[in-house]
Amino acid sequence: MTELLLAAKSLDVTPPPGHRLDGYAARAGVSTGTADPLNASLIWLSSTDDPGVLWLTLDAIAVGCELVSELAAAAGAAAGIPPSHVVVSASHTHSGPSGWTGEIHPVIPAARERDLVDALLGAVGSVRLERQPVTASWRSVEVVGVGTNRHRRNGPHDNTAGILALHSLSGSLEAVLLDFACHPTTYGPENLKYSADWPGAARAALAPAVVGFLQGAAGDVSPRFTRQGRGAAEITRLGSLLAGRVREALAHPGLELPQSPPAIRRTTLTLPVRNIPPAAEVEKVVSAAASHVHGTDDPSGRISQTRLDGARGQALMAAAALPPTFDLSISAVTMGDVCWINLPVELFAVHGACLQSDSTHPITRVIGYTDGYYGYVVDPAAAEAGTYEALITFFDQPTTNQLITQTALFANS
């Protein structure tokens, strides 16, 4: 009989102060310290004769392809498995260092910092992964109050959390692979301290279990309409709200999953980069967006400011030497009835719902920010409205449809 084995570790990988933070074009200055730690969590499910899958989740804005390759190699070496069996995901916190991945978009110029990268790789590569037998079960639970659609409160949003619970044979909760869709943007551009934002607070509230956090289809989802402040207390409140719902779900029996390790399949999808409008047209968009900014931090103020940020970002894209195509790494991890579809983009909620409805798997979770990063994939309404995300996306609408269709076909094959 196959015995499911778990190795799980959570590492504090917070860099020293003095490095640039990522996530906001309006942020000025370098990090001055730590509000709460940045973690790299490793959850490895395998058997004695099957390498299974190792999830490496990182508190970062994104994981670029170069960083993914390095982290997969380091984690794979620590576990003694091929790097192809390692899935690397970012939480998308907007209070992590830019130096791990470097520039993810012309809107925020950045460079990789070798000392930060080497310290991260050293921590992951030297981890001891000791396996123990576990049982796996699945739950999902509705979570209200952490995030909503950030363009309109009642817009599309998957407000369910997916919970893969891993218990020792004696019954103790050893690890949780948790997915939820919402931007970790409680802290704003004025913050200069490292923070995992509300995913870190949720992780802390679920201790001592090791928690790997997977960000869902959160391209147009954030706490914009739900947050009651910008500080540490609000981060704790939102994280505790999510963790409390997870604990409620864990108090009831879940769907028992097979004792066999998860399986992973990979493919690469090459997509064309859209044509950026000419400079004169882009400048008109910038001027129009600037005329509507009113300088407040309420939801309407944030929408107007981000639209201006997007217009300026499109101007930077027009001046950049963008490649003609991008190669997107897509994977599907399956474990019994559960399938995680992993994409290196910020999917809008409606696209996540489409992938779930088109899936032949009984339970499908759509995960973004994984194994690379290629920005937003917007829906038609955002494209027509000219939202921040639509202005700086690398892809046009036909390409978006191609991505969703081909991903669905791959996941169901």
CA–CA dist 135, 69 (Å, integer): 30
In a domain, 300, yes or no: no
Rounded mean pLDDT of the chain? 93
Per-residue pLDDT tens digits for 78-128:
999 999 999 999 999 999 999 999 999 998 889 999 999 999 999 999 999
> What range defines the domain where residue 25 resides?
1-264+330-381
DSSP 219: T
Specify the pTM.
0.94
CA–CA dist 396, 411 (Å, integer): 23
In a domain, 325, yes or no: no
In a domain, 322, yes or no: no
CA–CA dist 215, 90 (Å, integer): 7
In a domain, 372, yes or no: yes
In a domain, 198, yes or no: yes
pLDDT given for residue 385 in this prediction = 84
Candidate from 52-66, 135-149, 312-326, 374-388 with smallest mean pLDDT: 312-326
**Lookup: tokens for 193:** 């301290």
* Start-to-end Cα distance in the chain: 28
Per-residue pLDDT tens digits for 188-228:
999 999 999 999 999 999 999 999 999 999 999 999 999 99
Average pLDDT, integer, range 300-306: 69
CA–CA dist 216, 346 (Å, integer): 8
* Alpha-carbon distance values, 313 to 145, 245, 306, 365 (Å): 30, 37, 10, 31
In a domain, 303, yes or no: no
Please tell me whether residue 21 adopts helix, strand or coil conformation.
strand
Please tell me whether residue 239 adopts helix, strand or coil conformation.
helix
Task: Kindly state the helix (H) or strand (E) to which residue 269 belongs, with its residue range.
Answer: strand 263-272
273: number of Cβ within 10 Å:
17
CA–CA dist 62, 337 (Å, integer): 28
State the residue for tokens 């952490």: 146
Helix 114-125 / helix 65-79 crossing angle, nearest 10 deg:
30
Please tell me whether residue 13 adopts helix, strand or coil conformation.
coil
pLDDT tier, 388 (very low <50, low <70, confident <90, very high otherwise): confident
**Lookup: tokens for 115:** 């000392």
Average pLDDT, integer, range 167-171: 97
Please tell me whether residue 71 adopts helix, strand or coil conformation.
helix
CA–CA dist 342, 39 (Å, integer): 20
Cβ distance 257 to 208 under 8 Å? no
Question: 263-272 and 325-335 as β-strands: parallel, antiparallel, unpaired?
Answer: antiparallel
**Lookup: tokens for 291:** 């005329």
22: number of Cβ within 10 Å:
24
Per-residue pLDDT tens digits for 47-58:
999 999 999 999
| Domain count along the chain | 1
pLDDT tier, 403 (very low <50, low <70, confident <90, very high otherwise): very high
In a domain, 390, yes or no: no
Output b/e per residue, 146-178; b: 16+ Cβ within 10 A. bbbbbbeeebbbbbbbbbbbbbeeeeebbbbbb
218 vs 295, higher pLDDT: 218
Helix, strand, coil percentages in the chain from 3-state DSSP, rounded to 5: 30, 30, 40
Q: What are phi and psi of 335, to 5 degrees?
A: -150, 100
Please, how many CA atoms are within 13 Å of residue 326, restricted to the half-sphere of its CB? 22
Per-residue pLDDT tens digits for 308-362:
777 777 788 888 889 999 999 999 999 999 999 999 999 999 999 999 999 999 9
115: number of Cβ within 10 Å:
11
pLDDT given for residue 286 in this prediction = 61
Cβ distance 311 to 282 under 8 Å? yes
Residue 241 φ/ψ region, left for φ over 0, alpha for ψ in the -120 to 50 degree band, beta for the rest: alpha
Please tell me whether residue 264 adopts helix, strand or coil conformation.
strand
pLDDT given for residue 279 in this prediction = 63
CA–CA dist 197, 237 (Å, integer): 11
Q: What are phi and psi of 410, to 5 degrees?
A: -65, -50
In a domain, 177, yes or no: yes
